[in-house]
A and B are shown apart, each in its own frame.
Chain A
Amino acid sequence: MALLQISEPGLSPEPHKQRLAVGIDLGTTNSLVATVRNGIAVVLSDEQGHPLLPSVVRYRGDARVEVGFAAQAAQARDARNTVVSVKRFMGRGLKDVAHVESMPYDFVDDGGMVRLRTVAGVKSPVEISAEILRVLGERARASLGGELTGSVITVPAYFDDAQRQATKDAARLAGINVLRLLNEPTAAAIAYGLDNAAEGVYAVYDLGGGTFDFSVLKLTRGVFEVMATSGDAVLGGDDFDQRIFCWILDNAHVSPPSAEDARLLLLKARQAKEYLSGEPEAHIGARLASGEEVDLVLAAETFTHLTHPLVAKTLVPVRKALRDAGLRPEDVKGVVMVGGATRMPQVQRAVAEYFHQEPLTNLDPDKVVALGAAIQANALAGNRAADEDWLLLDVIPLSLGLETMGGLAEKVIPRNSTIPVARAQEFTTYKDGQTAMSFHVVQGERELVSECRSLARFDLRGIPPMTAGAARIRVTFQVDADGLLSVSARELATGVEASIAVKPSYGLGDEEIARMLQDSFAHASDDMHARVLREHRVEAQRLLDATDVALREDGQLLSTQERVAVDAALVQLRSRMAGEDHRALRQAVDSLNAATMELAARRMDQSIRQALSGRRVDTVGI
């Protein structure tokens, strides 16, 4: 018999119509699943009461797969088949992954997303992540007593298209419907109800086990936009454990520990760290395998002193993100703390000092992202009143566009457009009788295609033959709520259509995005010059082609003297085509235009005469 939940007033679901939706925080170190029950966002625990699922997957020789604590326990003895932090590989090629040489895995690199050779065969990061999602999905079904309508899965704000698509693919493989992906900092802000708070700028300080992410969000009319992100991929709570571990070795006067003793002391270091979040001092006691005793007291003050450089290090990306967003610390209306390491009082103090305000810490920092995702999933699944307007937007980090003649990038959707977004632009044919058109989809801020990132190519065929410029081809760029792009082209007269969903095999890191942006600023004037030059070249080529056709068909309309002038202008223009001087090129184009003006006029007269000959004036629809 079904168990009922308390609904908001007037929102009792029809029997069997309760739409079960969950939020999933697919983390680097730990993953969580949460839902809204009885109107309250809660994290769902496993049978043993653990809310966290370690993001560790172990492939065993007997074809079984272990996920979570069991896999974590086997990590040391079966490192090659036990994948930790698979999130770092999502949507990445081998060359994009840092520190591969120190990882215990057998990587397979065939150009696309990196894969790992395990005892159960070659596994992609998508398949490995799907194992984690499958366990969370099962937990959700068992906890909610039914099939899931859908989920919201969180991803770092800096995830690119490839990484986002890989996350969606993993969910599909795990049999979980994704309502949308949500940026982690945005999810944290939602968990604190900031979407209902005053409009303005909010910051999310996310110090996890091994990574630090800082994001600046702007709230406008209930919508969050990510203004800037920054971080440190190798800074987290584990580094604080390491500092205590070193302090123990310095102060306990024991011989260099064995691997097993080191693990024990690291565990004691972590326990001390956690204890010091609420107490003035922590006792560290251990008996080592070597027989030596460790018996120390670590004062909170000493711990703060030991880890001061780490805390200070987190403020470097904070400053950078604010600078990128053009903000001062006092412009920030609220700071959300995410990640277990933000429980440390010295971290909270440093953040409070920097922003001149107390950060938001009353929700569990390990759960806050999953809770926000659950709230969003509940809304998207339709479990909220109709009058509660709920739309969440993100922005695209780099402009999306098409290659046009001459290798120029035509931006169709400018960067920082809020998504979902669809933009259409009309293009036309360049040559008479052209029946096909190639589309090259590019991403970036530079004017030249060669300086942008190529995303995809596709062809539109079956355009009816027409004179150049007569065909109308509407190209539509659509970016869905997850930031995934699809491009379609349609010839308007016949309706022939071609389209492509962009799923790049490689992604861009946030550093690369930042670099591409900076390049575009640094090269702004070069780019402008290059664009003008290319535009003139395209125009010149078009004019040369048209003149050739005209001379071939109607050359007899010119007198010898006129013909000499046209030929001279042709030669001059051809000679300047390859040059870099756009003014000289423009001049040659203008001369040829002037020289052929008379020819064009006579051709026009001739074709009108032909069109009208033998017809009565009243049948001509002018």
Chain B
Amino acid sequence: MAITLTESAARHVSSFLAKRGKGVGIRLGVRTSGCSGMAYKLEYADDMQSDDIVFESHGVKVLVDPKSLPYLDGTELDFARQGLNEGFRFNNPNVKDQCGCGESFNV
């Protein structure tokens, strides 16, 4: 069971955390909503919860709550550019189908 960051994603997260000036890492999660059932959560993490599962990838701590982990297990978080746009992308092997936008998905 693991969640990883690509090197590029880790580099960007580290730099954002440094600029933000606080935070122990990032929190990944899912919640039910969106056009295809589930939606990703991608947030800065300021505190660690007691039941959080913590991964470390390229020096970045990734926190996941136990309920979200089954939906995310094996996910690799990547940083991508599309023209002028840039941001993070979930490469999630559990996904069966997703809406065209990629902001929500089904397992």
Asked if B72 is at the interface of the complex by the 8 Å CB criterion, the answer is: no
| Chain A residues numbered 369-424 whose CB sits less than 8 Å from any CB in chain B | none
Q: A7-B44, A11-B43 are in contact. Are A139 and B101 (CB under 8 A)?
A: no
Bound together, the chains give a CA A11 to CA B46 distance in angstroms of 13
Judge whether B103 and A6 touch: CB under 8 Å.
no
Considering the chains assembled together, what is the distance between the CA atoms of A44 and B85 in angstroms? 10
Tell me how far the C-beta of B28 lies from the nearest C-beta in chain A, rounded to whole angstroms: 10
By the criterion CB–CB under 8 Å, are B88 and A142 in contact?
no
Q: Which of A12, A37, A45 contacts B43 (CB 8 A)?
A: A12
Q: Is the CB of A5 within 8 A of B42?
A: yes
Closest-by-CB residue of A relative to B23 is A9
Judging by beta carbons under 8 Å apart, are B40 and A4 in contact? yes
**Is A39 at the interface (CB under 8 A from chain B)?**
yes
**Cα–Cα distance between A44 and B40 once the two chains are bound (Å):** 25
Which chain A residues border B83 with CB–CB below 8 Å? 47, 142
| Beta-carbon contact of A16 and B35 below 8 Å | yes
In the complex, A574 Cα to B34 Cα: how many Å? 80
Closest to A45 in B: B84
Is B102 on the interface with A (CB-CB < 8 A)?
A: yes
Given contacts A14-B33, A139-B84, contact A2 B43 (CB under 8 A): no
Given A15-B101, A39-B20, check contact A4 B88 (CB 8 Å). yes
Residue of A2, A3, A9 near B44 (CB, 8 A) is: A9
Contact B16 A38 (CB under 8 A): yes
For B104, what are the chain A residues with a Cβ–Cβ distance below 8 Å? Answer: 15
Q: How many A-B pairs fall under 8 Å by CB? A: 92
Which residues of A are found within 8 Å of B102, using beta-carbon distances? 1-2
The answer to the question of A464 belonging to the interface, with a C-beta cut-off of 8 Å to chain B, is no
| A44-65 near B? 1/0 per residue, CB < 8 Å | 1111000000000000000000
In the complex, which residues of chain B have a beta carbon less than 8 angstroms from the beta carbon of A45? Answer: 84
CB distance from A69 to the nearest CB of B (A): 16
Complex formed: what's the CA distance from A12 to B103 in Å? 11
Q: Which residue of A lies closest to B101 (CB)?
A: A2
Nearest to B12 among chain A residues (CB) is A38
A10: shortest Cβ distance to chain B, in Å? 7
**Minimum C-beta distance from A543 to chain B (A):** 72
Interface presence of A435 (CB below 8 A) = no
Checking B19, B26, B40 against A40 with a beta-carbon cut-off of 8 angstroms, the contacting residue is B19
User: Chain A nearest CB: distance from B96 CB in Å?
Assistant: 16
Give the CA-CA distance A10 to B47 in the complex, in Å.
12
Q: How far is the CA of A10 from the CA of B90 in the complex (A)?
A: 19
- A38 closest partner in B (C-beta): B16
A10 touches B42 (CB 8 A): no
* Complex interface: chain A residues within 8 A of B29 (CB): 12
Q: Which A1-34 residues have a C-beta within 8 angstroms of B?
A: 1-12, 14-16
A3 pairs with B86, CB closer than 8 A: yes
Q: What is the distance, in angstroms, from B81's C-beta to the closest C-beta of chain A?
A: 8
Closest Cβ of chain A to B82, distance in Å, is: 7
Across-interface contacts of A10 in B (CB, < 8 A): 43
Q: B99: which A residues are within 8 A, CB to CB? A: 15
Asked whether A40 lies within 8 Å of B89 as measured between CB atoms, the reply is no
Judge whether B20 and A40 touch: CB under 8 Å.
yes
**Contact B39 A14, beta carbon cutoff 8 Å:** yes
- State how many residues of chain A have any CB contact under 8 Å with chain B: 28
Chain B residue with minimal CB distance to A39? B20
Q: Main SS of chain B's interface residues?
A: strand
**Chain B residues near A194 (CB, 8 Å)?**
none
Chain B CB within 8 A of A144 CB: yes
Does the CB pair B44–A6 fall under 8 Å?
A: yes
Cβ contact within 8 Å between A5 and B101:
no
Chain A min CB distance to B70 (Å)? 19
User: Is A143 an interface residue, CB under 8 A from the partner?
Assistant: yes
Which A residues are CB-close (under 8 A) to B85?
3, 142-145
Q: CA A45 – CA B86 in complex, angstroms?
A: 12
Contact B43 A14 (CB under 8 A): no
Closest to A8 in B: B44
Complex-state Cα separation, A216 to B34, whole angstroms: 47
Query: Which residues of the partner chain B approach A11 to less than 8 Å between Cβ atoms?
Result: 43
A6 near B90 with CB under 8 A, answer no
Asked if B13 is at the interface of the complex by the 8 Å CB criterion, the answer is yes
Which residues of chain B are near A145, meaning CB under 8 Å?
82, 85, 87
Give bound CA distance, A515 to B44, whole Å: 52
Specify which chain B residues have a CB less than 8 angstroms from the CB of A6 in the assembled complex. Answer: 13, 16, 26, 42-44, 88
CB distance from B1 to the nearest CB of A (A): 22
Could you tell me if A15 and B43 are in contact, using CB atoms closer than 8 angstroms? no
A139 to B, closest residue via Cβ: B84
A4/B89 contact (C-beta < 8 A), A14-B34, A15-B103, A39-B20 known: yes
What's the Cα separation between A161 and B33 when bound, in Å? 45
Q: Contacts of B61 on A, CB cut-off 8 Å? A: none
* A39 in contact with B16 (CB, 8 Å): yes
Residues of chain A with a CB closer than 8 A to B42's CB = 4-7, 12
What's the nearest-Cβ distance from chain B to residue A3, in Å? 3
Taking the complex as formed, is B67 at the interface, i.e. its CB lies under 8 A from any CB of chain A?
A: no
Assuming the contacts A15-B35, A39-B20, A143-B85, asked whether A3 and B80 have C-beta atoms less than 8 A apart, the reply is yes
Flag if B45 contacts A9 (CB, 8 Å).
yes
B41 in the interface (beta carbon within 8 A): yes
Q: Mark A151-183, 1 if CB is under 8 A from B, else 0.
A: 000000000000000000000000000000000
Question: Which positions in A face B, CB cutoff 8 Å?
Answer: 1-12, 14-16, 37-40, 44-47, 139, 142-145
A4-B89, A6-B44, A44-B84 given. 15 additional CB < 8 A pairs? Answer: A1-B101, A3-B86, A6-B26, A6-B42, A9-B27, A12-B42, A14-B39, A15-B35, A15-B39, A15-B101, A16-B103, A38-B12, A38-B16, A47-B84, A143-B85
List 5 tightest A-B contacts by C-beta distance, closest first: A3-B87, A1-B102, A15-B34, A15-B103, A143-B84
